[in-house]
Amino acid sequence: MEKRILGLDPGLAILGFGVINCKKNETKIQDTTVQMVDFGVISTPANAEMGQRLCTLFDDLHTLMEELQPDLVAIEKLFFYRMSSTILVAQARGVIMLALAQRRLPYVEFTPAQIKQALTGYGNAEKYEVQEAVARELNLEDIPKPDDASDALAVALTAWFQV
């Protein structure tokens, strides 16, 4: 079984993405491989009008999905920080959900605690512990930067561990 998983760390100013290819041999449980394909961010300028920022996310996300052709999308669930930032992230998530629906792509969602648990075995792990786990699982020499991209790879890995 092979899957290409697109992980997304939603945000209005910065939307992190990370893509992994995964292969599991159905006859040998131990025979699995995971490989990082790409990672990065979609950014929108803070001084742009809200509608334009959402259009940028939508258009860039469609381009990304067209180029990378994921089989599954994994999204970090909305986590409440401050009400103002939560609303902005919710608007960005709405755009993400619309783009996924238009492409009829299946998706899964995980809370920050579920992601931390999957990667470190501890639901209250520190951010750097999750980042180190991402680098280790993907055999990377360095932790992916920026943090939003590393977070998106963590979401994608969590989906792979759950598949």
Assess whether the previous peptide bond of 144 is cis (omega < 30° from 0).
no
Q: How far is CA 17 from CA 36, 124, 147, in A?
A: 11, 23, 10
Q: Residue 28 phi/psi, 5° resolution?
A: -125, 105
DSSP state of 78: P
User: Among 26, 38, 137, 148, which one carries the catalytic annotation?
Assistant: 148
* Residue 9 bears catalytic tag: yes
User: Among 2, 9, 129, 151, which one carries the catalytic annotation?
Assistant: 9
Report helix, strand or coil for 76.
strand
Query: Across the chain, how many H-helices and E-strands are there?
Result: 5, 5
* Residue 137 bears catalytic tag: no
**Backbone dihedral region of 125: left (phi > 0), alpha (psi from -120 to 50 degrees) or beta?**
beta
User: Among 26, 31, 49, 76, which one carries the catalytic annotation?
Assistant: 76
* Residue 76 bears catalytic tag: yes
Task: Point out the residues that are catalytic.
Answer: 9, 76, 148
